[in-house]
Amino acid sequence: MTSRQAPLCGLAPRCLWLLGAVLLMDASARPANHSSARERVGSREENEILPPDHLNGVKLEMDGHLNRDFHQEVFLGKDTDGFEQDAEPRRSRRKLMAIFSKVDLNTDRRISAKEMQRWIMEKTAEHFQEAIAESKAHFRAVDPDGDGHVSWDEYKVKFLASKGHDEREVADKIKNKWDLNVDEETQEVLENLKDRWYQADNPPPDLLLTESEFLSFLHPEHSRGMLQFMVKEIIRDLDQDGDKKLSLSEFISLPVGTVENQQGQDVDDGWVRDRKREFEELIDANRDGIVTAAELEDYMDPMNEFSALNEAKQMIAVADENQNHCLEPEEVLKYSEFFTGSKLVDYARSVHEEF
């Protein structure tokens, strides 16, 4: 499997009551796994050796849900400080306009699709480098003998220890081939992880991962083979008729079930609308109403320049009020919530303050 350089689906019925409760409390609640980056911070640290469900700069989550933070991730990169909900508005506006100036390469006070494409690729490269650094740290944590290889058994010990099992006891059980006595859910996770481990293991397979293979295990976007594996898993989860392709109805069919109130209906309507637009405008490249594995792979590939250009055009179209196919300062400020996740007030006046 070739390493690339910088630059699992539906809600279980028993969880539907919880979704309903959340929606009743918050009209802006999202379906499962649609939490924003700010809401995801804590859980990642608790399971740092697990492959993340969320991949920065990748359009879909591991379970096939849309990455709700994608536009902010490829516009802001890692530089998200200053755009928190409680940030000082004037400071946030200045920072947003500073970013605008960096994207506006020819300084004509307009961001073209080509300029946005270049910026998206640059921010994606930042996320790639961040993932590499993170993977190196995690590799050292699971490679206790420092031999540059991690066996499946070594990883399994560290994984179960992170789930509360006694590390020495688990190691002894694995060494002596004794039953681990884990619950059914943990066993299922282990089986899925082992399947992914096999996929990341370059031929000839030996169940030993090098540092670069471990990077592919954690971050499939860094490897063509692992990206294909991720696409296959998503299609498997969403494909209802078994043809290994996705129709529009299959792609928009998540999550299963609705809640019977207007707030819940609004969330479901938003889910269908967003996924329909994504399917028709970006994923289904030949517009035949069917998404193949190749089309989904191109769409999800963060280093695909053609996809980056399409994304740039779509991002511009969201805020391009004067229809000149470019972004101007007033438009970026007015649609700041789309680009930064924060709504900045008094945009019309503030553009004159910041330039």
Q: What are 312's two structure tokens? A: 């740039």
CA atoms of 335 and 342, how far apart (whole Å)? 9
Does residue 355 sit within a domain?
A: no
Does residue 160 sit within a domain?
A: yes
Please check whether residue 214 is in contact with residue 193, taking contact to mean a CB–CB distance below 8 angstroms.
no
Does residue 259 sit within a domain?
A: no
Where in the sequence is the domain holding 188, given as residue range(s)? 143-219
Adjacent-strand bridge partners of 208: 151
Q: Where are the alpha helices (DSSP H) in the chain?
A: 16-25, 37-46, 70-76, 89-103, 113-142, 152-162, 167-175, 184-200, 211-218, 224-238, 248-251, 262-278, 293-300, 305-319, 329-334, 336-340, 347-354
Percent of the chain with pLDDT over 90: 66
The mean pLDDT value for 285-290 works out to: 96
Strands annotated E in the chain: 150-151, 208-209, 246-247, 290-291
The mean pLDDT value for 234-250 works out to: 95
Single-letter code of the amino acid located at 317: A
The mean pLDDT value for 12-28 works out to: 38
For residue 204, name the pLDDT band (cuts at 50, 70, 90). Answer: confident
Does residue 161 sit within a domain?
A: yes
Phi, psi of 174 (to 5 degrees): -65, -40
CA dihedral 244, 246, 250, 254 (to 10 degrees): 90
Adjacent-strand bridge partners of 66: 60
Q: What are 203's two structure tokens? A: 């031929």
Mean pLDDT rounded to a whole number for the chain: 83
pLDDT exceeds 70 at position 73: yes
The mean pLDDT value for 149-170 works out to: 94
Q: Tokens 């409390």 map to which residue?
A: 25
CA atoms of 148 and 210, how far apart (whole Å)? 6
Q: Which residue has the higher pLDDT, 292 or 30?
A: 292
Work out the angle between the directed axes of helices 16-25 and 262-278 (0-180°, nearest 10): 100
Does residue 86 sit within a domain?
A: no
Q: Tokens 């073209």 map to which residue?
A: 112
> Comparing C-alpha atoms, which of 200, 136, 175, 137 is closest to residue 3?
200
Single-letter code of the amino acid located at 106: N
Domain count, the chain: 1
What pLDDT shows up at residue 344?
A: 63
The pLDDT tens digits of the residues spanning 93-141 come to 999 999 999 999 999 999 999 999 999 999 999 999 999 999 999 999 8
Single-letter code of the amino acid located at 265: Q
The mean pLDDT value for 71-93 works out to: 84
Q: What are 49's two structure tokens? A: 């050796």
Does residue 336 sit within a domain?
A: no
The mean pLDDT value for 65-89 works out to: 86
pLDDT exceeds 90 at position 87: no
Please check whether residue 299 is in contact with residue 59, taking contact to mean a CB–CB distance below 8 angstroms.
yes
Does residue 213 sit within a domain?
A: yes
Number of other residues whose CB lies within 10 A of the CB of residue 318: 13
What pLDDT shows up at residue 27?
A: 38
Does residue 291 sit within a domain?
A: no
Phi, psi of 151 (to 5 degrees): -85, 160
Number of other residues whose CB lies within 10 A of the CB of residue 95: 18
